[in-house]
Amino acid sequence: MTAPRTVRTKKRATVAATDPKSPNLTADQLEEFGNELDALRQRVFADLGEADAAYIRMIVKRQQQFEIAGRALFYLPPAWPLAVAALSISKILENMEIGHNVMHGQYDWMGDPKLNSRIYDWDTMAPGENWKYGHNYIHHTYTNILGKDRDIGYGILRMDEDQKWHPAYLGNPLYAFLLMVFFEEGVALHDLEIDRIRTGERTWEQTKKVGKPIIRKVSKQVLKDYLLFPALTGPLFLSTLAGNAVANVIRNIWAFNIIFCGHFPAGVATFTEEECENESRGHWYYRQLLGSANITGGRLFHILSGNLSHQIEHHLFPDLPARRYPELSVEVKALCEKYGIEYNTGRLSKQLFSVARKICRLALPTRRTPAPAPVPVADDPLAA
């Protein structure tokens, strides 16, 4: 009798093969798992309508109101903290709940050119076209595959034991802090892939094509935030310039923490290219689940995070409106329980602490305790 085909995925942590976080699924179970998630996606997509359109239009309206309030309050020096707070909220909403989600194509079905993924370009230094290729395609296709997903460490951080240690990684905590403060700039420069130029994998000629839109976008943002709007306040130029800079930093810190807590806390898995060869739809879903984590919180917290506090649901369904992720999370969690797959979620403080701990730990040489090798199954091309 032929042994059942199984799919096994290695955890990148000291996890035994019998740990429920790293379950073995038969090929039939994996296919069924994928079919159930496909059906869930189709059901929600078929249900999209006026409530979803009204929601994103309301968010856009609130974002614009906060921006107008912030810009206006800079004319009143005593109200400077309120101006910074309003502008920070505006920038967070625009980047997280509007820009990120619109450029994923979540609202293309509306037919509104202002909310179309091919046209929209967000209020940040990263050019939309560059970001959509590096994020929507590379990251979401090859999520947490070492050597393919360039968001693992953003080219400067060591975030996994299988990233070869080098003395330069002793600066891991410092690099993470600088990336957090200058996250807007870091995301823009990420597409230059300087590390690949250094190793000869990418030519300067190729980099020039990517760099030109970055220069244009950075120039536009600097002109707007640090010259034009401060100049409009006349003698309050320096005060307004400082306020814009502080609002950008607040947005950067918030975005960095939400994104890192969704991708790098304890329990999140990475994969090798070999483990994902000839990957089925079910295995792709399986990889998204094990390679993501959620953050618990209230409705306002989820809105300000762009619902990336539901990073698991976002990786499973990147083109569905993010406002649907909270309701989807209930059914996704139930499916995880059904198939014995860990659903990684926790408070912001918990996830943030585990990310910080990982950044510091991986600054030093690490020796991963190998998990017991699974028994290979001859007729399973995906067996680890």
Secondary structure in 3-state letters for 280-318: CHHHHHHHHHHCCCEECCCHHHHHHCCCCCEHHHHHHCC
With 60 as the cut, is the pLDDT of residue 132 above it?
Answer: yes
pLDDT tier for residue 237 given thresholds of 50, 70 and 90:
very high
* CA 112 vs CA 109, 115, 292: distances in Å: 8, 5, 31
pLDDT tier for residue 204 given thresholds of 50, 70 and 90:
confident
Highest mean pLDDT range out of 44-58, 266-280, 359-373?
A: 44-58
Cα 350 from Cα 271, distance rounded (Å): 24
Q: Are 201 and 309 in contact (CB under 8 A)?
A: no
With 80 as the cut, is the pLDDT of residue 27 above it?
Answer: yes
Locate 188 and state its tokens. 């823009």
pLDDT at 100: 97
Count of C-beta atoms within a 10 Å radius of residue 290: 25
pLDDT at 380: 40
Beta strands in the chain (DSSP E): 6-7, 25-26, 294-295, 345-346
Distance of CA 41 to the CA centre of its chain: 20
Buried b (16+ CB within 10 A) or exposed e, 179-206: bbebbbbbbbbbbbbeeeeeeeebeeee
149-202 confidence digits (pLDDT tens):
989 988 899 999 989 999 999 999 999 999 999 999 999 988 887 777 767 777
Give the closest residue to 237 by CA, choosing from 248, 245, 229.
229
pTM attached to this predicted model: 0.87
Q: Are 136 and 103 in contact (CB under 8 A)?
A: yes
Cα 247 from Cα 85, distance rounded (Å): 7
Q: Are 281 and 34 in contact (CB under 8 A)?
A: yes
With 90 as the cut, is the pLDDT of residue 13 above it?
Answer: no
3-state secondary structure at position 48: coil
pLDDT at 209: 80
pLDDT at 214: 93
Least reliable range by pLDDT among 119-123, 146-150, 204-208, 238-242? 204-208
- What is the pairing mode between strands 25-26 and 6-7? antiparallel
Locate 99 and state its tokens. 């820009």
Q: Please, where are the H alpha helices in 74-202?
A: 80-92, 100-102, 128-131, 140-141, 172-181, 183-190, 194-198
CA torsion sign, 267 to 273 to 275 to 277? positive
42-87 confidence digits (pLDDT tens):
999 999 999 999 999 999 999 999 999 999 999 999 999 999 999 9
pLDDT at 117: 96
Q: Which residue has the tokens 């790293």?
A: 22
Mean pLDDT for 242-258 is 98
With 60 as the cut, is the pLDDT of residue 375 above it?
Answer: no
Q: What percent of the chain has pLDDT over 90?
A: 76
Looking at residue 321, its amino acid is P
Q: Angle at the Cα of 18 (from 15 to 24), degrees rounded to 5?
A: 105
- What is the pairing mode between strands 294-295 and 6-7? unpaired
95-119 confidence digits (pLDDT tens):
999 999 999 999 999 999 999 999 9
Q: Considering only the C-alpha atoms of the chain, give the largest distance between any 2 of them, rounded to a whole number of Å.
A: 85
Count of C-beta atoms within a 10 Å radius of residue 58: 10
With 80 as the cut, is the pLDDT of residue 19 above it?
Answer: no
The residue ranking higher by pLDDT, 157 or 204, is 157
With 90 as the cut, is the pLDDT of residue 262 above it?
Answer: yes
Per-chain mean pLDDT for the chain: 88
Cα 113 from Cα 107, distance rounded (Å): 10
